[in-house]
Amino acid sequence: MFKSRRNSFKTHRSPYYSRRKRRLPSPWLILAAIPLFLIAVELLARSAIAVSGKSQELARYKGEPALVTAYRLQFLSNDRKPYTALPDRGELKAKHSMALGYELVGKQKNKYWAIDEQGFRDEEPLPLEKPKDEIRIFILGNSTAFGKGNQSNAATIAPKLETLMNERIATQKKSPDSYRPDALSFYKPERDKALALPPKIRPGTYRIVNAAVPGYTSGNHLAQLALQILPYKPDAIIVLGGYTDLMLPSDKTATNIPQLDRFLANASGHYRAALSQSLREWFANSASYKVWQYWILNPEPSLAEKTLGMMEENKSLDRHLAGDDEELQRRVDRYYQNYKQMVQLCAGAGIPLVLALQPEVTGNSPEKLEDEEKEMLETLGDGYQEGIEEGYAQLTTAHDRLKKAYPNNVYIFNFHKMSVPKSGSDTSEAIFSDPIHLSEDANIELSKRLYDAVTGIPKMQLTPKNFDLK
């Protein structure tokens, strides 16, 4: 009887205790499923790209707008291979240079720019031997003078200035009476009347060479002038800059390839970084990544990335400025000393030097800015605006010192507060795409101001006979 009850109890309990526990999937099964899932996602992404008709566009997509990638530098070693561990892998190729830090590779082209054989932004190569009737003016500078963000070579400052100079020659030929005569009268009233007319500039075919390089500072310009530009026998030099010198720490003499010294001094670290970079690039080239970035995230580079292009540290623009007055003074002194040597080199070669501070967004009053430019100022913050204003004030003082020391050899201009006349329409475009890079309309205005600067240089003018008579 007892046994029967126990069996009965056992029979009653058995459904509960005999229930099997559910097993979790094997970890190996999960690991095996992950690649299959990723492959499925990749195939779906490729299908989406094919259906959208954006296969060619996304093939070049690198997680940022095409225009940004097109102007981002890709640094090459002396054997023309990319430094794979460096983060800046754009389409504009630059090679390492012992003298210049880096220089643009010749004969390269994309839909936005063309670089000639000599590494200048031009469609046609520049022969070392200057044609007899050619007058060469070189523009040196950073990415502003280079024309970063512009849609073509034709949209940049150099070709627009070239057009103005050659139009002036054509006008002089067509209407010579509108300019000073080739010989001045001895009769004072007639002489004064003739001197009131605009001077004629030297006849010939003007060629304006865009020798600017993104990221360059005064130290790069000095080396570039001495080693690269002077052999081409320039008739005048224009340097448009200042901003990058305010951003470059005083312990650096010029801009160089970012992080290069650190990588070369640490072979094992370079290898690990290169391997990591290769894995990131492999992932970035996958269709699933491109779909996620292009259609879902649609990321925009920070203002600092767009402005400086290459940075050793990812920090905001105000943190790139000098942290105290002593550091700012050291940066400005470096700027002064480099341009002092440039003035001396140009004076020795008999070449006029135009030294101009580049435009910058805080130089414009708020009522002259478009909504996106006002929003940019808010993003930059008060610290940046105060720091850049003080920086430009110090650079202006350095220019004054240069003009006082070399009154006949350097021509000083300050375009920090340059504004562009409004078109009068309701669709006026911003002239700044970031704090220093300009629209085509702004380049037109800047070329007009540089035209006035160049045509006002006595050495670029024809001197009438009897001009020195008193």
Residue 6, pLDDT score: 46
Going by C-alpha positions, the residue among 437, 209, 222, 457 that lies closest to residue 350 is 457
Q: How confident is the model at residue 429 (pLDDT cuts 50, 70, 90)?
A: confident
This prediction's pTM: 0.82
pLDDT at 230 over 70: yes
Token pair recorded at residue 1:
């009887």
Distance CA 95, CA 75 (A): 6
Q: What is the three-state SS of 62-107?
A: CCCCHHHHHHCEEEECCCCCECCCCCCECCEEEEEECCCEEEECCC
Token pair recorded at residue 33:
């499923």
Choose one of 271, 301, 331: the last residue of a domain: 301
Q: Is 108 exposed, middle or buried (0-12, 13-18, 19+ CB in 10 A)?
A: middle
Distance CA 138, CA 353 (A): 10
pLDDT, mean over the chain: 84
| Residue 10 backbone dihedrals phi, psi, to 5 degrees | -65, -40
Percent of the chain with pLDDT over 70: 76
Residue 4, pLDDT score: 47
Rg of the chain in Å (alpha carbons): 31
Q: Are residues 84 and 151 in the same domain?
A: no
| Residue 263, in any domain of the structure | yes
pLDDT at 275 over 70: no
pLDDT at 294 over 60: no
Residue 10, pLDDT score: 47
Lowest mean pLDDT among 252-266, 404-418, 450-464: 252-266
Residue 69, pLDDT score: 87
Beta partners for residue 414, in sequence order? 357
Which SS3 state, helix, strand or coil, does residue 438 take? strand
Q: Are residues 334 and 445 in the same domain?
A: yes
**What is the total count of domains within the chain?**
2
| Residue 1, in any domain of the structure | no
pLDDT at 229 over 50: yes
C-beta of residue 379 within 8 angstroms of C-beta of residue 423: no
Residue 210, pLDDT score: 98
Q: Are residues 252 and 263 in the same domain?
A: no
Residue 289, pLDDT score: 57
Residue 42, pLDDT score: 59
Q: Are residues 49 and 156 in the same domain?
A: no
Beta partners for residue 89, in sequence order? 74
Distance CA 439, CA 421 (A): 13
Q: Are residues 237 and 197 in the same domain?
A: yes
The letter for the amino acid at 90 is: G
Sign for the CA dihedral angle at 423, 427, 432, 438 comes to negative
CA distances from 54 to 69, 283, 287 (A): 17, 19, 12
Distance CA 77, CA 371 (A): 42
Residue 420, pLDDT score: 83
Q: Are residues 73 and 155 in the same domain?
A: no
Q: Are residues 290 and 345 in the same domain?
A: no
Q: How confident is the model at residue 55 (pLDDT cuts 50, 70, 90)?
A: low
Q: Are residues 222 and 290 in the same domain?
A: no
Q: Which residues contact 327 (CB under 8 A, 6 or more apart)?
A: 249, 250
Mean pLDDT of all residues in 197-226: 97
Mean pLDDT of all residues in 40-51: 64
pLDDT at 49 over 70: no
Residue 373, pLDDT score: 93
Q: Which residue has the higher pLDDT, 272 or 75?
A: 75
| Residue 24, in any domain of the structure | no
Q: Which residue has the higher pLDDT, 329 or 30?
A: 329
| pLDDT one-digit tens code per residue, 311-323 | 656 788 999 999 9
Q: Are residues 411 and 266 in the same domain?
A: no
| pLDDT one-digit tens code per residue, 344-399 | 999 999 999 999 999 999 998 888 889 999 999 999 999 999 999 999 999 999 99
Residue 9, pLDDT score: 44
Lowest mean pLDDT among 58-62, 71-75, 335-339: 58-62
Beta partners for residue 115, in sequence order? 108
Edge-first strand listing for the sheet containing 101-104: 73-76, 92-97, 101-104
| pLDDT one-digit tens code per residue, 63-101 | 567 888 899 999 888 777 777 656 557 899 999 898 999
| Residue 99, in any domain of the structure | no
Distance CA 72, CA 113 (A): 12
C-beta of residue 73 within 8 angstroms of C-beta of residue 310: yes
Q: Which residue has the higher pLDDT, 43 or 225?
A: 225
Choose one of 274, 301, 328: the last residue of a domain: 301
| Residue 19, in any domain of the structure | no
| Residue 424, in any domain of the structure | yes
C-beta of residue 239 within 8 angstroms of C-beta of residue 355: yes
Distance CA 191, CA 376 (A): 53
Q: Are residues 57 and 204 in the same domain?
A: no
Q: How confident is the model at residue 50 (pLDDT cuts 50, 70, 90)?
A: low
Residue 2, pLDDT score: 44
| Residue 433 backbone dihedrals phi, psi, to 5 degrees | -85, -20
Q: 451: domain range?
A: 104-258+310-460
Q: Which residues contact 72 (CB under 8 A, 6 or more apart)?
A: 88, 89, 90, 91, 92, 309, 310
Q: How confident is the model at residue 123 (pLDDT cuts 50, 70, 90)?
A: very high
pLDDT at 243 over 80: yes
| Residue 14, in any domain of the structure | no
Mean pLDDT of all residues in 273-279: 50
Beta partners for residue 109, in sequence order? 114
Residue 1, pLDDT score: 44
Mean pLDDT of all residues in 231-237: 97
Residue 8, pLDDT score: 46
Q: Are residues 293 and 404 in the same domain?
A: no
Q: Are residues 112 and 215 in the same domain?
A: yes
CATH for 159? 3.40.50.1110
| Residue 437, in any domain of the structure | yes
